[in-house]
Amino acid sequence: MVEPVLLWRRLVGAQVRSQLQYRVSFALDATGAFLISFIDFLAVLVIFHNVHRLGTWSVREVAFLYAFSSISFATTDLLIGHFDQFPQKIRDGNFDILLVRPRGTLFQVIGSDFQMRRLGKALQGLLVLGFVIGSLDIPWDAGRVAMLVVMVPAAIVIFGSVWVVGGCLVFWTTDGGEFTNAFTYGGNFLAQYPVDILSTWLRRFLAYIVPLAFVCYFPALYILDKPDPLGLPRFVDFLSPVVALVAVAVAGSVWRFAVRHYRSAGG
Amino acid sequence: MIEVDGLSKRFVVRHGRFRRERHVVDAVKEISFRVERGELLGYLGPNGAGKSTTIKMLTGILVPSAGRVSVAGLDPSRRRIELARRIGAMFGQRVQLWWDLPLVDSFELLRHIYKVPADRYHTQLARFRDVLDLDPFLHTPVRQLSLGQRIRGELTAAMLHGPELLFLDEPTIGLDVVAKQRVRDFLVEINRQEGVTVLLTTHDLGDIERLCSRLLVIDHGSLIWDGAIAQLKERYGGERTLVVDLEEPAPPLDIAGARVEKVDGPRQWLRFRGSASELTAQVAASARLVDLQVQEPDIEEIVRRIYAGER
Q: What is the pLDDT of residues B40-76, one digit of tens each?
A: 999 988 777 888 889 999 998 888 999 999 999 999 9
Most confident listed range (A39-43, A142-146, A180-184, B204-208): A142-146
Set of chain A residues whose Cβ sits within 8 Å of the Cβ of B89 = 100
pTM of the model: 0.77
Contacts of B155 (CB under 8 A, 6+ apart): B90, B128, B132, B171, B183, B186
Best probe of the B interface among A100, A106, A173, by most B CBs < 10 A, is A100
pLDDT digits (tens, 9 = 90+) for B197-245: 999 988 777 788 788 888 898 888 888 888 887 777 777 666 788 888 8
Helix-helix angle A23-50:A119-135, to 10 degrees: 30
- Chain length of chain A: 267
Whether residue A163 is contained in a domain is answered as yes
Q: How confident is the model over B131-144, as a mean pLDDT?
A: 91
**What's the 3-state SS for chain B?**
CEEEEEEEEEEEEEECCCCCEEEEEEEEEEEEEEECCCCEEEEECCCCCCHHHHHHHHCCCCCCCEEEEEECCECCCCCHHHHHHHEEEEECCCCCCCCCCEHHHHHHHHHHHCCCCHHHHHHHHHHHHHHCCCHHHCCCEHHHCCHHHHHHHHHHHHHCCCCCEEEEECCCCCCCHHHHHHHHHHHHHHHHHHCCEEEEEECCHHHHHHHCCEEEEEECCEEEEEEEHHHHHHHHCCCEEEEEEECCCCCCCCCCCEEEEEEECCEEEEEECCCHHHHHHHHHHHCCEEEEEEECCCHHHHHHHHHCCCC
At B170 the pLDDT is: 85
At A169 the pLDDT is: 78
Q: Determine, for residues B109 and A18 on separate chains, whether the beta-carbon distance falls below 8 Å.
A: no
Give residue A265's pLDDT band: very low, low, confident or very high (50, 70, 90). Answer: low
B 117-176 residues with CB below 8 A of A?
A: 141
On whether any CB of chain B is under 8 Å from the CB of A234, the answer is: no
Work out the percent of chain A whose per-residue pLDDT is above 70: 95
Higher local confidence (pLDDT), A195 or A145: A145
At B276 the pLDDT is: 82
Q: How confident is the model over A240-256, as a mean pLDDT?
A: 91
Q: How confident is the model over A103-124, as a mean pLDDT?
A: 80
Compute the distance between CA of residue B152 and CA of residue B128 in angstroms, rounded to an integer: 9
Q: How confident is the model over A9-27, as a mean pLDDT?
A: 82
**Average pLDDT of the residues of chain A:** 81
Size of interface A-B (CB pairs under 8 A): 73
On whether any CB of chain A is under 8 Å from the CB of B63, the answer is: yes
Of B175, B144, A126, residue with least CA distance to B155: B175
Give yes or no for a contact between A193 and A201, defined as CB atoms under 8 angstroms apart: no
Give residue B178's pLDDT band: very low, low, confident or very high (50, 70, 90). Answer: confident
pLDDT digits (tens, 9 = 90+) for B75-101: 998 899 999 999 999 987 788 898 888
Set of chain A residues whose Cβ sits within 8 Å of the Cβ of B11 = 263
On whether any CB of chain B is under 8 Å from the CB of A173, the answer is: no
Whether residue A148 is contained in a domain is answered as yes
B 7-46 residues with CB below 8 A of A?
A: 11
pLDDT digits (tens, 9 = 90+) for B274-298: 788 888 888 888 888 888 888 876 6
At A267 the pLDDT is: 44
Measured between CA atoms, how close is B228 to chain A, in angstroms? 26
Bridge partners, residue A171, by sequence: none
Q: Determine, for residues A264 and B87 on separate chains, whether the beta-carbon distance falls below 8 Å.
A: no
Q: Which residue on chain A is closest to B116 by alpha carbon?
A: A102
Set of chain B residues whose Cβ sits within 8 Å of the Cβ of A14 = 98, 101, 105, 109
Q: How confident is the model over A129-139, as a mean pLDDT?
A: 83
Give residue B114's pLDDT band: very low, low, confident or very high (50, 70, 90). Answer: very high
Whether residue A38 is contained in a domain is answered as yes
pLDDT at A266 over 60: no
Compute the distance between CA of residue A24 and CA of residue B108 in angstroms, rounded to an integer: 27
Of A194, A177, A185, residue with least CA distance to A159: A185
Compute the distance between CA of residue A111 and CA of residue B296 in angstroms, rounded to an integer: 55
pLDDT digits (tens, 9 = 90+) for A47-63: 777 777 777 788 888 88
How many domains, chain A?
1
Task: Please report which helix (H) or strand (E) contains residue A99, including its range.
Answer: helix A95-99
What ipTM score was computed for the predicted complex, to two decimals? 0.77
Q: Which of A21, A100, A104 sits opposite B89 (nearest CB)?
A: A100
**Average pLDDT of the residues of chain B:** 86
Q: Which residue on chain B is closest to A101 by alpha carbon?
A: B84
Q: How confident is the model over B125-137, as a mean pLDDT?
A: 91
On whether any CB of chain A is under 8 Å from the CB of B98, the answer is: yes
Domains and CATH numbers, chain B: 2-234 (3.40.50.300), 238-307 (3.30.70.1560)
Best probe of the A interface among B74, B100, B164, by most A CBs < 10 A, is B100
At A175 the pLDDT is: 62
pLDDT at A174 over 70: no
Compute chain B's Rg from CA coordinates. 24
pLDDT at B311 over 60: no
Structural domain containing residue A68 = 2-259
Apex B163 CA angle, B160 and B42, nearest 5: 110
Measured between CA atoms, how close is B195 to chain A, in angstroms? 21
